[in-house]
Structure 1
Amino acid sequence: MSPQFQGILAMIGACTIWGLSPIYYKLLKDVPPLELLAHRTLWSLVVFASILAMQGKLARLRAALGSARAVVVIAFAALMISANWYLFIFSVQQGHVTQTSLGYYMFPLVAVLIGTVVLGEKLKPLQWFAVALAVVAVVQLTIGLGVAPWISLTLAATFGLYGLVKKQLTVGPMVSVTAEVLVLSPIALCWLAVVHGRGDGVFGTDFGTSALLMFSGFLTALPLILFSAAAQRVNMVTVGLLQYINPTLQFFCAVVLFGEALNTFQLAAFGLIWTALALYSGQSVAQERARRRSVMTSAAEFPR
């Protein structure tokens, strides 16, 4: 099996886990979102720290948090990902998986927009058109429903800002995520202490629920490990295209498994977003092919 095929399988595995994760959070619908988020943070820290310890890389956490600037960057990344996690958990429990699916479909376009505004990245005309279609989708959904799709927009924005901040980090993904949950863990511990102190904590009251809460660490770690493996073996265009498996499976969970209704405005928004993603992805594939041809031409003209 070639390294590239291994990477594709790893990416499919990561996105499948992310896409089907609403099923897991539905099983814990009786656990308050903040309590569930606190457990996810702490058990993720246990899993990530254990992996780094087995790899002999725990000392890299000190480097990741070795300066005031690094701490600020890690803290902001932790704030963005915790807000994203919380909103996702809340939305699943409240029956808004359709909106989470739309948010993760919108994420690549929001990320492109953030990159253009913050990093000064240049877009091709077709990519601008794709972003414009996404804006039209949001506007028509807002007018049709009488309220902006805040869940979708916030999920896309927080994940986009999280990705932007991660560009500033020089440590690997496993070390950076461990540092993020390490920063969040004191808050998570304090919240669980308050919850259990007033007698409302669910952990320890039921074996099944407690086991599911502990499993949240593994559920967070495994797709990240698979994603990291995929990123090392597959070009970023392929990674970007395969990422659409995640919101597609979320959409499947929402409509088929959970029976969430879709109205005309939502269907129109999804149609516009899907069209925008098709245009954007097509442009990305074309650019990657052009880059490869350029590299091959240069190699032919200037052989070693």
Structure 2
Amino acid sequence: MQRTRAGLGFGLGAYLWWGAFPFYFGLIAMVGPLEVVPWRVATTLIFCVLLVTVTRRWQRVAVILRTPRLLGWFALSALFLYANWQIFIIGVMTGHVLETSLGYFINPLFTILIGVVFRKERLSRLQWIAVIIAGVSVLIAAIAYGSFPWIALGIALSFGLYGAVHKHAGETVDGITGLTIETFATLPVAAVQLGLIAATSGLTAFTFGTGITTLVLFSGIVTAIPLILFGEATRRLPLAHIGFLQFLTPILGFFYGAFVTQEEITTGRWIGFIGVWIALVILIVDMVLQLRRSPTAQVNTAPIPLD
């Protein structure tokens, strides 16, 4: 039970933090979306290197680098994460915040599907009810959007696959070590992308003054913190619970798109939004009931050492 509570705490922290991302990256919308992500990768890696050094985790990083199979899984999860970052940034910076929100509404259903089909996780009766309500609500919202939501589907697929692969690779790896490996694996992709931009349109991230420069440089810290929390959550919770917690992120994104950027909200979108809220309440009730029925024995939640 203690392990589950810790997982819930890490998961809530991660998804609430992610929910604030549209606010943050909306402030640097003048920088091209294809340029922001490479800088985000570079600054995230710098922050992770500092954390690994301070917490003395270099031996754990070395173990993964010397284990081809484990390194391969982390490299695959890193590619899905990079794709998710890029699609999300494009959505936010091109005025499609509500579509990114829709993507993160769809994402939990995809995550839950992976957990049930491939990891043989079982859902309770209340969880199945929540899945059905959420599925119908998301379908209504997608239809109401009026056009093919490629940004939404790209976000859902990329982050759903990232969560599944990361959980498979990282259940015995702490969040800081895992994120360090993932950002290291995507650094070549980021470098190539940044080089192409420099050779074509030119780099602009540091030409808008000290304020924008600071926000770009701090994007690494802003990015790393929720991913570390997410890494710790996936070690403690089944994918089904992770999937439902993901509804918190698009709720905040929806509010940003509706009240800050003032995108149009149709009746269908409102129906989908309210339906997902109902599903989330059902999930919370079910999880509270499960915690009350769980044994009171304490479970060790410390990271499993790799050295």
TM-score, normalized by the shorter chain, greater than 0.5: yes
Larger radius of gyration: 1
Distance 1:8 1:130, change over 3 A: closer
Residue 302 of structure 1: aligned partner: none
SS at 1:167 equivalent: helix
Q: Distance in 1 between matches of 2:205 and 2:133?
A: 45
Q: Distance in 1 between matches of 2:78 and 2:237?
A: 27
Displacement after TM superposition at 1:58 (Å): 2.0
Displacement after TM superposition at 1:243 (Å): 6.0
Residue 195 of structure 1: aligned partner: 197
Q: Distance in 1 between matches of 2:5 and 2:283?
A: 24
Q: Distance in 2 between matches of 1:288 and 1:47?
A: 35
Between the two proteins, the alignment pairs up a number of residues equal to 292
Distance 1:112 1:269, change over 3 A: same
Residue 35 of structure 1: aligned partner: 35
SS at 2:289 equivalent: helix
Displacement after TM superposition at 1:114 (Å): 1.2
Q: Distance in 1 between matches of 2:96 and 2:40?
A: 20
Q: Distance in 1 between matches of 2:233 and 2:116?
A: 26
Deviation readout 1:229-260 (Å, 9 max, x if unpaired)? 88999999999887654333222211112112
Residue 283 of structure 1: aligned partner: 286
Distance 1:116 1:19, change over 3 A: same
One-letter amino acid matched to 2:197: V
Further displaced range: 245-254 or 66-75:
245-254
Deviation readout 1:186-229 (Å, 9 max, x if unpaired)? 12112212222335111443443332221111111233456678
Alignment partner of 1:261 is 2:225: no
One-letter amino acid matched to 1:120: K
Corresponding residue to 2:253 among 250, 253, 262: 250
Displacement after TM superposition at 1:36 (Å): 0.7
Distance 1:57 1:196, change over 3 A: same
Q: Distance in 2 between matches of 1:132 and 1:5?
A: 26
Corresponding residue to 1:272 among 275, 289, 304: 275
One-letter amino acid matched to 1:286: L
Residue 299 of structure 1: aligned partner: none
Displacement after TM superposition at 1:122 (Å): 1.6
The question of whether the paired residues in 1 share the 8 Å contact of 2:36 and 2:216 is answered with yes
The question of whether the paired residues in 2 share the 8 Å contact of 1:237 and 1:288 is answered with no
The question of whether the paired residues in 1 share the 8 Å contact of 2:77 and 2:166 is answered with yes
One-letter amino acid matched to 1:250: G
Displacement after TM superposition at 1:79 (Å): 1.2
Deviation readout 1:43-97 (Å, 9 max, x if unpaired)? 1001101110122212322212322222221111001111111111111112222
Displacement after TM superposition at 1:101 (Å): 2.6
Q: Distance in 1 between matches of 2:240 and 2:138?
A: 25
Q: Distance in 2 between matches of 1:56 and 1:214?
A: 24
The question of whether the paired residues in 1 share the 8 Å contact of 2:247 and 2:276 is answered with no
Displacement after TM superposition at 1:263 (Å): 0.5
Q: Distance in 1 between matches of 2:139 and 2:248?
A: 25
Distance 1:179 1:133, change over 3 A: same
Q: Distance in 2 between matches of 1:130 and 1:117?
A: 17
* Structure 2 stretches lacking a partner, 5+ long: 299-307
The question of whether the paired residues in 2 share the 8 Å contact of 1:237 and 1:284 is answered with no
Deviation readout 1:143-200 (Å, 9 max, x if unpaired)? 4444354433332332222121122222211111110110111121122122223351
Q: Distance in 1 between matches of 2:92 and 2:61?
A: 32
Displacement after TM superposition at 1:266 (Å): 0.9
Q: Distance in 1 between matches of 2:14 and 2:98?
A: 20
The question of whether the paired residues in 1 share the 8 Å contact of 2:112 and 2:240 is answered with no
One-letter amino acid matched to 1:180: E
SS at 1:59 equivalent: helix
RMSD of aligned Cα (Å) = 3.4
Equivalent residues in 2 for 1:203-222 (5 A)? 203-208=205-210, 209-222=212-225
Distance 1:229 1:137, change over 3 A: closer
SS at 2:294 equivalent: helix
One-letter amino acid matched to 1:197: A
Alignment partner of 1:128 is 2:131: no
Residue 71 of structure 1: aligned partner: 71
Residue 182 of structure 1: aligned partner: 184
Structure with the larger helix share: 1
Distance 1:5 1:73, change over 3 A: closer
Q: Distance in 2 between matches of 1:109 and 1:241?
A: 8
